[in-house]
Each structure stands twice: as C-alpha cells, then as structure tokens.
C-alpha cells in the first residue's frame, strides 16, 4: 500500500497567479499521476509524473499550464499556472504500487 | 475510445434494500477493473478490484465479459454506504480511466 499526503489541502487564489501543489508518498513508487476533479465531475487524468524525465500529458493539458516535477521516487509537484476561475477544482495526486492510491486532494478556488 | 460508463448519476434506496451500481466498459481484451468509493469529506479509496474476487463491506462485483459489465452489488444496503462510487479501469500505461460516478443514497 501507499500513504499519500498533499499540501496545501486547500487554497484560494487570485486569477493570474500560480500555485504549486506538493505530493509526498511514504514509499518509493515508480508511477505517480495527477488528476483533476472539477465540481460535480469525475476524475480526469492530467499527466503521468515520470521520475527523471518530463511528465507525459493527456490530451487537453499542456506543460506550460501544468508544469510537473518529479525529483525522486517519493515526491512530485504540480503547478497550476496563470490561473483563471475555470481552474477551480480539486487536484489529486496518485501513486501506483500493487494498485493505485490517492492523496486527499487539494481544493483550489480561483477568484 | 476506451470508456467506462456509469449510467446512473444518483441511486437512492432504503436501508436493507439490495443495491446494484451499474458499470459498463468498452475494451476488447482482458480489462483490469476497479470500484473506488469516496465518502463525504474523505479521500478516494479503493473498494474492490476484479482480480481479487473478494467481498469488501458486503459489496461484490463480478466481471461479465459477454456484457462488458462490472456491476457493484450489495444485498442489504446500510446508511453508511451512502457515498460516491466510481468504476474505473486501467489502460496499458497503468492510467486509470474513471466513469462519471454514481451517488448512492441510502435512506433510513
């Protein structure tokens, strides 16, 4: 199993600013992922965070808007850049060991 | 496209009634399927995976390849089962593809 923590748990930001979300896993994992859950919606994969190389983004998501770091096997960050109200969402970090586990999420509100 | 479909947004039942949350998938091979649950103000957590064929909290789910379904069932619903339930499958890159979710409301 894996225990995943995220910081911050929530934030309220002004449009045009950026927020970096941190994800920490209690064990080394090969695969980490970032998801978005918009209000009233299901989870959508943003990208796969690859250790030692660039993240792999899904259709509709780009590195300039959602830069991701993965400096080691237990940590990743997601930055939401140049935010607009449409970015208001819950952002979840996930890691795969025997199966996929999720962090508690970061609730972002953009004014 | 690889899809996971949950046709019901909301399922409301009375305590003690049977529950079936529907999930259909589009995939021609052998899928790896899961049910995740999200209780109010808690993180998303794994409920079941089809390869383990286990029963968790009284819930079971059987993979039906002929119908491409993985419905979640419980014979007697409890109020504490009220939550959001997501069906998901893993693609070849280990990415989870989620259904739209079904909110289960168990009334007293």
Domain ranges of chain B: 4-107
Q: Which residue has the higher pLDDT, A53 or A34?
A: A34
Backbone phi, psi, residue B69, to 5°? -130, 160
The minimal CB distance from A100 to the residues B93, B96, B99 is found for: B96
* Residues of chain B positioned with their CB less than 8 A from the CB of A42: 86, 98-101
Instruction: Say yes or no: A42 contacts chain B, CB-CB below 8 A.
Output: yes
Domain A4-110 falls under CATH 3.30.70.141: no
Residue B19 has pLDDT above 90, yes or no: yes
Q: How far, CA to CA in Å, does A4 sit from each of A75, A109, B25, B80?
A: 10, 22, 28, 24
- Which tens digits make up the pLDDT trace of B21-77? 999 998 777 788 999 999 988 889 999 988 777 788 899 998 888 889 999 999 999
Instruction: Say yes or no: B98 contacts chain A, CB-CB below 8 A.
Output: yes
Q: Do B95 and A48 touch (CB under 8 A)?
A: yes
- Which tens digits make up the pLDDT trace of A22-42? 999 999 998 899 999 998 889
Q: What is the mean pLDDT of chain A?
A: 94
- CATH architecture group of domain B4-107: Sandwich (2.60)
Residue A54 has pLDDT above 90, yes or no: no
Residue A44 has pLDDT above 90, yes or no: yes
Q: How far, CA to CA in Å, does A32 sit from each of A38, A54, A68, A77, A104?
A: 20, 12, 11, 10, 14
Q: Do B44 and A43 touch (CB under 8 A)?
A: yes
Q: Do B101 and A42 touch (CB under 8 A)?
A: yes
Q: What is the pLDDT of residue B84?
A: 96
> What is the distance in angstroms between the Cα of B85 and the nearest Cα belonging to chain A?
10
Q: What is the pLDDT of residue A45?
A: 95
Residues of chain A above pLDDT 90, percent: 85
User: Which alpha helices (H) appear in chain A, and where do they start and end?
Assistant: none
Nearest partner of B57 among B41, B82, B74, B35, judged by Cα: B74
Q: What is the pLDDT of residue B1?
A: 61
Residue in B closest to A102 by C-alpha: B44
* Residues of chain B positioned with their CB less than 8 A from the CB of A96: 94
Cβ neighbours of residue A98 under 8 Å, at least 6 residues apart? A1
Q: Do A105 and B98 touch (CB under 8 A)?
A: no
The domain locations on chain A are 4-110
Q: Do A99 and B46 touch (CB under 8 A)?
A: yes
Q: What is the pLDDT of residue A39?
A: 86
Reduced to 3 states, what is the DSSP secondary structure of residue B100?
A: coil
Read off the pLDDT band of B98 (50, 70, 90): very high
Residue A90 has pLDDT above 70, yes or no: yes
């Amino acid at each position: 199993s894996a225990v995943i923590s995220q910081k911050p748990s929530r934030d309220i930001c002004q449009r045009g600013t950026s927020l970096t979300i941190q994800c920490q896993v209690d064990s080394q994992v090969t695969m980490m992922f970032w998801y978005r859950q918009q209000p009233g919606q299901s989870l959508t994969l943003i990208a796969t965070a690859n250790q030692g190389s660039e993240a792999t983004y899904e259709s509709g998501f780009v590195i300039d808007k959602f830069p991701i770091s993965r400096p080691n096997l237990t940590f990743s960050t997601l930055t939401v850049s140049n935010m607009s109200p449409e970015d208001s969402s819950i952002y979840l970090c996930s890691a795969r060991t025997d199966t996929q586990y999720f962090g508690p999420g970061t609730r972002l509100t953009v004014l | 496209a690889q899809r996971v479909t949950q046709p019901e947004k909301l399922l409301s039942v009375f305590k003690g009634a049977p529950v079936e949350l529907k999930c259909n998938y589009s995939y021609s091979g052998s899928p790896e399927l899961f049910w995740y649950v999200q209780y109010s103000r808690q993180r998303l957590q794994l409920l079941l995976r089809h390869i383990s064929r286990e029963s968790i909290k009284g819930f079971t789910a059987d993979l039906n390849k002929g119908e491409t379904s993985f419905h979640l069932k419980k014979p007697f619903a409890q109020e504490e089962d009220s939550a959001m339930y997501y069906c998901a499958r893993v693609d070849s890159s280990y990415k989870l593809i989620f259904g739209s979710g079904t909110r289960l409301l168990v009334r007293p």
